[in-house]
């Protein structure tokens, strides 16, 4: 049996599970809290860091996070308790499509549109936007973080990404915003992750395991961990770096 303390750590170097910097997060929280939400719903929340920050900035609000990863949810509950928010937030281990979700004043969906649709990309984005439109209260806000192509990928870049990567998986930024408008939203704010945010996220995503691997080269899990790390790094640096972007869209429902 492998001792628990000898296993590779998981994402402890990341504050947010995405390319999101502290300054951008602070701006988002301030802007979203100005709408004075009383209920916050986080789809595919992970450990729900941005949701917790919104709850701190909007002291009358309550939150609900939905995700399938038990470890991430446990981390969120621990963070909520540490910050005195445990009585205002719940983390639920369930599928967003199976859960009976009441509409909320603020809905967060950060790189989790796949949790709301089983359609093939990019149609899953359209389905997710329509689902988000149903889940936000009149006058509320949706914060959607979604991928887009910064420029058309080359065949070589696609081959270096994930299996079966295709140039039609994502829109460009204008096309993504058009989908949001067609789904019944007005884009109150459009912003995109920059290169520094991407590099910080990708490095943080790998860092814990890279350090662990350097000190556990003969561990039974070392080969598997090395293969995954090397594969992901190649996907990033040879594939989607400066090609795949993340947009943060603050959306207001029409009517």
Domain boundaries, the chain: 17-152+166-194+245-253
Hey, how many other C-beta atoms are within 10 angstroms of the C-beta on 130? 16
Q: What digits encode the pLDDT tens for the residues 160-214?
A: 999 999 999 999 999 999 999 999 999 999 999 999 999 999 999 999 999 999 9
Return the bridge partners of 146, or none.
Answer: 247
For 116-128, write each residue's pLDDT tens digit.
998 888 899 999 9
Average pLDDT score over residue span 99-107? 92
Give pLDDT, residue 4. 53
Beta-bridge partners for 91: 65
Which CATH fold would you assign to the domain 17-152+166-194+245-253?
Answer: Rossmann fold (3.40.50)
Task: Retrieve residue 211's tokens.
Answer: 């350090």
**218 phi and psi, to 5 degrees?**
-110, 10
Cβ neighbours of residue 20 closer than 8 Å, sequence gap 6 or more: 50, 110, 145, 193, 197, 201, 248
**∠ CA(19), CA(171), CA(166), 5° rounding?**
90
Contact 28, 143 (CB under 8 A): yes
pLDDT category at 99 given cuts 50, 70, 90 is confident
CB 177 within 8 Å of CB 249: yes
Global model pTM greater than 0.85: yes
Mean pLDDT of 101-105: 95
Residue 36 CA: distances (Å) to CA of 31, 58, 90, 157: 10, 6, 19, 43
Report the distance separating Cα 149 and Cα 167, nearest Å. Answer: 8
What gap in Å lies between CA 231 and CA 249, rounded to an integer?
30
Distance, first Cα to last Cα, the chain: 58
DSSP three-state, residue 13? coil
Residue 127 pLDDT: 96
pLDDT tens, residue by residue, 222-248: 999 999 999 999 999 999 999 999 999
Mean predicted confidence (pLDDT) in 52-76: 97
The pLDDT of 43-70, averaged and rounded, is 98
Residue 73 scores a pLDDT above 70: yes
How does the average pLDDT of the chain come out, rounded? Answer: 95
Beta bridge partners of 189: 250
Residue 3 has pLDDT above 70, yes or no: no
Averaged pLDDT, 62-74: 97
């Amino acid at each position: 049996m492998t001792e628990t303390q000898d296993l590779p750590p998981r994402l402890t170097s990341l504050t947010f599970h995405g390319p999101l910097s502290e300054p951008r997060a602070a701006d988002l929280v301030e802007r979203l809290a100005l709408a004075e939400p009383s209920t916050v719903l986080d789809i595919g929340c992970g450990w729900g860091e941005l949701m917790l920050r919104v709850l701190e900035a909007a002291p009358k609000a309550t939150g609900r996070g939905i995700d399938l990863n038990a470890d991430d949810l446990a981390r969120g509950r621990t963070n909520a308790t540490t910050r005195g928010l445990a009585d205002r937030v719940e983390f639920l281990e369930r599928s967003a499509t199976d859960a009976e979700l009441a509409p909320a004043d603020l809905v967060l969906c950060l790189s989790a549109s796949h949790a709301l649709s089983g359609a093939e990309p990019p149609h899953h984005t359209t389905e997710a936007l329509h689902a988000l439109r149903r889940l936000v209260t009149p006058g509320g806000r949706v914060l959607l973080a979604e991928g887009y192509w910064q420029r058309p990928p080359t065949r070589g870049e696609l081959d270096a990404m994930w299996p079966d990567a295709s140039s039609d998986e994502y829109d460009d930024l204008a096309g993504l915003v058009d989908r949001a408008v067609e789904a019944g939203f007005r884009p109150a704010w459009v912003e995109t992750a920059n290169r520094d945010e991407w590099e910080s996220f990708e490095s943080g995503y790998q860092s814990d395991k890279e350090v662990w691997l350097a000190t556990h080269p003969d561990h039974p899990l070392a080969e598997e961990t090395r293969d995954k790390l090397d594969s992901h790094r190649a996907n990033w640096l040879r594939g989607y770096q400066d090609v795949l972007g993340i947009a943060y869209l603050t959306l207001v429902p029409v009517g």
